[in-house]
Amino acid sequence: MMKSSLKLTAAAAVAAFIATSDIALAEEAGLTDTTIKIGMIGSLTGPAALWGWPTINGAKMVYDDINANGGINGRKIELVIEDSQCQAPLALAAAKKLISRDEVFMLHGGSCSGAILPVRDLVLKEKVPMMVLVATADEIVAQPNGYIYRAFLPGSYDGEIIANFIATSPQLKKVVVVGNTDAVANVRYPKLEESIKANNLEYLGLEPLEVEATDATAQVLKVKSLNPDAVVLVARPEASAVFLKDAAKLGLDVPVFGSTLVDLQDLLERIGDPKPMANMNVVSFYKSTLTEAPMARWVDMLKKYYPDDKVQAAAFYGTSGALAVVEALKRAGPDLSREKMVQALSEIKDMDGGPMACSVTFAADDHEGCKTGSIWGMRDGNITALGDSWK
Amino acid sequence: MEIATLLSVGVSNGCLYGLVGLGLVLVYNAQGIPNFAHGELFMASAFAAYTANILFGLSYALSMLVAIVFAFALGVVVEFLAIRPIAMNRSLGRASTEVAIVLSTVGLMIAIKGLARIPWGDSVRKLPAAFSTETISVGGLVLSTQRLLIIVVAFVLTIAISLFFSKTSLGKKMRATSQNTAGAMLVGINTGHIYSATWGLAAICGGVAGILAAPLIFLYPDMGTRMLLKGFAAACLGGFGSVGGVFVGGLVMGIVEIFFGRYLATSMMDIFAPIIIIVVLLFRPQGLFGSRSAVRV
Amino acid sequence: MLEVSGLEAGYGPQLVLKGVSMQVPKGEIVALLGGNGAGKTTTLSAIMGLISARKGTVRFAGVPIQSKPAHRVFGHGVALVPQWRELFSEMSVLEHLDLGAMQRCRRSEIGQRIESVLEYFPELRSHLHRRAGALSGGQQQMVAIARALASEPKLLMLDEPSMGLAPMIVSELGRTIKRLNETGKSILLVEQNVHLALSVASYIYIIRGGTIVKHGPTVAFADERELFQSYIG
């Protein structure tokens, strides 16, 4: 009797343990019946702080809007935001904290490619779904990768878009590249050079321009001596503005094509003079300029939730990612899990990119959702979307 | 024509390097240490000019004056709060005192930059040029009026500072203090005041460079870092000695750098300054113009 | 003129002066003698305010000066010619005199002041525009004394002025010290050169191990050799 009751107690205990641990397994981190916890990582301070809050808020406004309209499948989105200061060790620490301490369901973050790259291994090991916020390096999302997605134009694709665009003009044959040599710029060069050559254009080489350049006289004169038909400018906004000003001053009068690192409106404001901008074109993520109809919905949303934020190009870099996250959460249904979320993301096809010119399509073996952009240029002093061929 | 263009840019950049270098040399001679926060004085003055001119709407000339006064005040305050307590601490040996002051300037560099990021970190700003006509054409050569201004101001300021040191009693006291602090005390010089004045003057040199350079570049909290390196290279070339030597060191830097970039490799332009620093320190620590005995170690 | 009583001072944790008391009456030459490490230079540094006194008082013309920094003590009319001269090696002789004078006289009087100092050291006239660092040891000593004199101090303190000088120059120095005294200056002379001290001073203090071990008028120390052997050597 004693023995059997002991056995019974033991069996009951084991059963109870198995049952509870089953429940523990079923209960995904970061989920309750009424909330989904998402961790965001941005460069809120440090050298890239310029893009910190604007990009976070551009994604956050989508979540705010969803919450204001009742949430997804009865759950509201709860955000935990961490600062990476654009530094790898801090980005990694932030991701670790979000995953282990805050136990978030997924991550939506990264605004400096170099800083967020080390986070990739951690995220893949921990099997946490992640949407890239604004980091552009291809390697972050490259296969094999079961968990990390991106819903805006990655770094290397703008080179292809520019080269294809230049090739549509019969006058533009010889192309020289001027650009920074930091990580963000370097990811763009191989595909740019390959695409220039693939379009039967003559590639005249790469002229380095320092990120913190205060003067580009040497570069402009050197480029002039090569006598190119077009210049591709793969530089951050500060250096791009310096180059354009010196190009105008020293009479380098050829079309210049900027990467997604710059934005026409922003450059115009920086330079404060339309003259050096006359030859400038850029690859843009967006459907239209910020003042035109296709962007109105997103500009209005920003004004509603973040009335103090500046309406600028950087404000909407993260928006399409949030839209994809929301779409996948809806599709994954109320019985949510990380694996279901990843599956739902991979099934998104031809989703409207929101402010983005592309439509978002993921596949199980391709997590780059957005591969097209459009070229914008200055026409009659106005920023004009040109599409994909020379006008 | 191309050479003239390169020369005009090289000389004006060199003038800026020389001014920044001069501020470094002043502090080095007084305290025996490189001031790592000097680039931040350059940055802070540019933002002071911006604040006065753009935010408070003061006239351009008045804004420049405000920025220069601000630079001087910042230099004096920094010396008083962060340097003097360490320099006056007699429980440290001379070597430890110098190490402690160097670390203090590194801390200041990070702190001032960090403070500047609070109001200014969100965007890049622009200070208008001193003249509304941005360029003038001389015989087909296009010259930037701002760059011409830089050259004129740098020349005048360098001569003024040379005269200040050789003719005025404060200048003589500053030289005396930098050459022999104990000797200076023995002729009744309040060396504490002299250190304040030295930091103030050094900050003016950096500040003038900052407000002259600002219209050519953009204003952001990290703008001083690069300038510090260039100014340091100019000071090394000049041998950390005479006012004129540093100025010529800056000119050599500016000119060689841009010709090097144009005709050899633009990728090398910005590693040029650190290379100069290393080469000069290794092979000619007294600089191009200094005599070996004049080097303070 | 100068009254030091119970003065204690030192460097860092080390206490060098363990209660020094001495006086320099107005218009007298007083010598402070002692061996290496006895505390001679430390005494002068503490009086001058180069190091701070931990205990005791220093009064000059009745005013307590023991807690004042060097430049303030200098302002009261005390000048020190330090053992290592402490010249400004890249500055000219004239600039040294200029600096010595400028803190304690009006700008218009500086020229006159320098002229009167040069009367003691006519040799410097031909070197006025040379760098101090380029002068001989004897000339540098002249510059150091001349710089101190340019402030027209009431008390002149000389720290081993004979050190490193040739015997002929030392006797010349002795004459100069006497001439200075004749114009009414009080002088505190620190020396290891007993001969020089005995030939100029009217009163002698002997310091050893940071305290005054003996003092009295010079006539009481008639035997130079004995004095040297028992207290200094």
pLDDT, tens digit, for every residue of B197-244?
999 999 999 999 999 998 887 788 888 988 999 999 999 888 887 788
> Between vectors from CA B75 to CA C104 and to CA B281, what angle results, nearest 5°?
95
Q: Does A376 touch chain B (CB under 8 A)?
A: no
Nearest chain B CA: its distance from C34 CA (Å)? 23
Interface contact A45-B121, CB threshold 8 A: yes
Residues of B in contact with C135 (CB under 8 A): none
CA–CA separation, B33 vs B227, rounded Å?
Answer: 18
- Please, are residues A106 and A127 in contact by the beta-carbon 8 Å criterion? no
Q: What's the mean pLDDT when you consider all of chain B?
A: 87
Q: Look at residues A267, A266, A269 and name the one whose alpha carbon lies nearest to residue A243.
A: A267
Token representation of residue A71: 């949430």
Q: Going by beta carbons, is chain A in contact with chain B, meaning 3 or more pairs sit under 8 Å apart?
A: yes
Q: What is the pLDDT of residue B295?
A: 37
When CB atoms are compared, the residue of B90, B175, B183 closest to C87 is B183
Confidence of residue A132 (pLDDT cuts 50, 70, 90): very high
Q: Look at residues A87, A83, A132, A125 and name the one whose alpha carbon lies nearest to residue A107.
A: A132
Q: Is A335 helix (H, G, I), strand (E, B) or coil?
A: coil
When CB atoms are compared, the residue of B169, B179, B185 closest to C70 is B185
CA–CA separation, B296 vs B293, rounded Å?
Answer: 8
Write out pLDDT tens, residues A39-57: 999 988 876 777 788 999 9
Nearest chain A CA: its distance from B100 CA (Å)? 26
Residues of B in contact with A181 (CB under 8 A): 267
Nearest chain C CA: its distance from B42 CA (Å)? 30
Chain B residues 180-199 with CB within 8 Å of chain C: 180, 182-191
Task: Say if strands C203-208 and A280-284 run parallel, antiparallel, or are unpaired.
Answer: unpaired
When CB atoms are compared, the residue of A181, A214, A270 closest to B213 is A214
CA–CA separation, A337 vs A343, rounded Å?
Answer: 10
CA–CA separation, C67 vs C50, rounded Å?
Answer: 10
Write out pLDDT tens, residues A233-248: 999 888 999 999 999 9
C-alpha torsion B43→B49→B50→B55, nearest 10: 140
Interface contact B169-C88, CB threshold 8 A: no
Interface contact B186-C48, CB threshold 8 A: yes
Closest chain B residue to C110, measured at CA: B169
**pLDDT at C71 exceeding the cut of 50:** yes
Q: Is A369 helix (H, G, I), strand (E, B) or coil?
A: coil
Residues of B in contact with A212 (CB under 8 A): 222-223, 225-226
Token representation of residue C143: 């510059």
Nearest chain B CA: its distance from A42 CA (Å)? 13
CA–CA separation, B65 vs C225, rounded Å?
Answer: 70
ipTM of the complex as predicted: 0.89
Interface contact B266-A272, CB threshold 8 A: no
Chain C residues 53-82 with CB within 8 Å of chain B: 69-71, 74-75, 79-80, 82
Write out pLDDT tens, residues A143-170: 899 999 999 988 888 888 999 999 998 8
Identify any residues that bridge with C174 across adjacent strands, giving them in sequence order: none
Residues of B in contact with A242 (CB under 8 A): 217
Q: How far apart are the first and last CA of chain A?
A: 94
CA–CA separation, B148 vs B18, rounded Å?
Answer: 15
Interface contact A215-B124, CB threshold 8 A: no
- Please, are residues C143 and C132 in contact by the beta-carbon 8 Å criterion? yes
Question: For the purposes of burial, counting CB atoms within 10 Å of the CB of C44, is it exposed (0-12), middle (13-18) or buried (19 or more)?
Answer: buried
Nearest chain B CA: its distance from C103 CA (Å)? 6
| Phi, psi (rounded to 5 degrees) for A183 | -55, -45
> Between vectors from CA C48 to CA C45 and to CA C49, what angle results, nearest 5°?
85
- Give the full edge-to-edge strand order of the sheet including A130-132: A76-83, A35-42, A106-109, A130-132, A148-149
When CB atoms are compared, the residue of B126, B144, B266 closest to A272 is B126
CA–CA separation, A238 vs A245, rounded Å?
Answer: 11
Element spanning B77, H or E = helix B60-78
**pLDDT at A358 exceeding the cut of 80:** yes
Whole-prediction pTM value? 0.77
Interface contact A49-B267, CB threshold 8 A: no
Token representation of residue A60: 């956050």
Q: Look at residues A170, A158, A262, A162 and name the one whose alpha carbon lies nearest to residue A209.
A: A262
Token representation of residue C48: 């001058």
Q: Is A258 helix (H, G, I), strand (E, B) or coil?
A: strand
- Please, are residues A264 and A280 in contact by the beta-carbon 8 Å criterion? yes
Nearest chain B CA: its distance from C153 CA (Å)? 11
Q: Does B145 touch chain A (CB under 8 A)?
A: no
Q: Does A65 touch chain B (CB under 8 A)?
A: no
- Please, are residues B71 and B44 in contact by the beta-carbon 8 Å criterion? yes
Identify any residues that bridge with A202 across adjacent strands, giving them in sequence order: A174
Q: Does B179 touch chain C (CB under 8 A)?
A: yes
CA–CA separation, A88 vs A6, rounded Å?
Answer: 55
Residues of B in contact with A49 (CB under 8 A): 117, 121-122
Residues of B in contact with A83 (CB under 8 A): none
Residues of B in contact with C50 (CB under 8 A): 182, 185
CA–CA separation, C197 vs A303, rounded Å?
Answer: 90
- Please, are residues A321 and A150 in contact by the beta-carbon 8 Å criterion? yes
- Please, are residues C210 and C191 in contact by the beta-carbon 8 Å criterion? no
Q: What is the pLDDT of residue A2?
A: 46
Closest chain C residue to B295, measured at CA: C90
Q: Cα–chain-centroid distance for residue B45?
A: 11
Residue A386: CA count within 13 A, CB half-sphere? 25
Confidence of residue A12 (pLDDT cuts 50, 70, 90): low
Q: Going by beta carbons, is chain C in contact with chain A, meaning 3 or more pairs sit under 8 Å apart?
A: no
Neighbours of chain A (3+ CB pairs under 8 A): B
Write out pLDDT tens, residues A304-335: 999 998 888 889 999 999 999 999 999 999 99
* Cα-based distances in Å from B69 to A370, B44, B64, B283, C29: 53, 12, 9, 39, 51
When CB atoms are compared, the residue of B126, B216, B266 closest to A219 is B266
Q: Is B13 helix (H, G, I), strand (E, B) or coil?
A: helix
Q: What is the CA radius of gyration of chain B?
A: 19
Confidence of residue A186 (pLDDT cuts 50, 70, 90): confident
Which residues lie closer than 8 Å to A188 by C-beta, 6 or more apart?
A155, A156, A158, A159, A179, A234, A259
When CB atoms are compared, the residue of B6, B226, B261 closest to A212 is B226
Interface contact B222-A212, CB threshold 8 A: yes
Give me the percent of chain B exceeding a pLDDT of 90.
52
Q: What is the pLDDT of residue B134?
A: 79
- Please, are residues C22 and C59 in contact by the beta-carbon 8 Å criterion? no
Sign of the Cα pseudo-torsion (B109, B110, B112, B116, in order): positive
CA–CA separation, B173 vs B178, rounded Å?
Answer: 9
Residues of C in contact with B189 (CB under 8 A): 71, 99, 103
CA–CA separation, B109 vs B225, rounded Å?
Answer: 9
- Please, are residues B116 and B44 in contact by the beta-carbon 8 Å criterion? yes
CA–CA separation, A42 vs A60, rounded Å?
Answer: 12
Write out pLDDT tens, residues A59-89: 999 999 999 999 999 999 999 999 998 888 9
CA–CA separation, C112 vs C14, rounded Å?
Answer: 45
Interface contact A310-B123, CB threshold 8 A: yes
C-alpha torsion A249→A250→A253→A254, nearest 10: -110
Which residues lie closer than 8 Å to A16 by C-beta, 6 or more apart?
none
Q: Does B237 touch chain C (CB under 8 A)?
A: no
Q: How many residues does chain A have?
A: 391
Sign of the Cα pseudo-torsion (C28, C33, C37, C39, in order): negative
What burial letters (b/e) apply to A277-298, b meaning 16+ CB within 10 Å? bbbbbbbbbbbbbbeeeebeeb
Q: Does A45 touch chain B (CB under 8 A)?
A: yes
> CB neighbours (10 Å) of residue B223?
25
When CB atoms are compared, the residue of C69, C99, C133 closest to B173 is C99
**pLDDT at C220 exceeding the cut of 60:** yes
Q: Look at residues B107, B109, B129, B105 and name the one whose alpha carbon lies nearest to residue B117.
A: B109
* Cα-based distances in Å from B258 to B10, B22, C76: 6, 21, 57
CA–CA separation, A228 vs A198, rounded Å?
Answer: 18
Residues of C in contact with B179 (CB under 8 A): 88-91
**pLDDT at B192 exceeding the cut of 50:** yes
Q: Does B93 touch chain C (CB under 8 A)?
A: no
- Give the full edge-to-edge strand order of the sheet including C186-191: C78-81, C155-159, C186-191, C29-33, C203-208, C211-217
Interface contact A221-B13, CB threshold 8 A: no
Confidence of residue B142 (pLDDT cuts 50, 70, 90): confident
| Phi, psi (rounded to 5 degrees) for B190 | -80, 95
Q: Does A274 touch chain B (CB under 8 A)?
A: no
Residues of A in contact with B213 (CB under 8 A): 214
Write out pLDDT tens, residues A101-112: 999 999 999 888
Write out pLDDT tens, residues A191-223: 899 999 999 999 999 999 988 788 899 999 999
Q: What's the mean pLDDT when you consider all of chain C?
A: 89
Interface contact A209-B266, CB threshold 8 A: yes
Interface contact A218-B269, CB threshold 8 A: yes
Closest chain B residue to C44, measured at CA: B186
Nearest chain B CA: its distance from A43 CA (Å)? 11
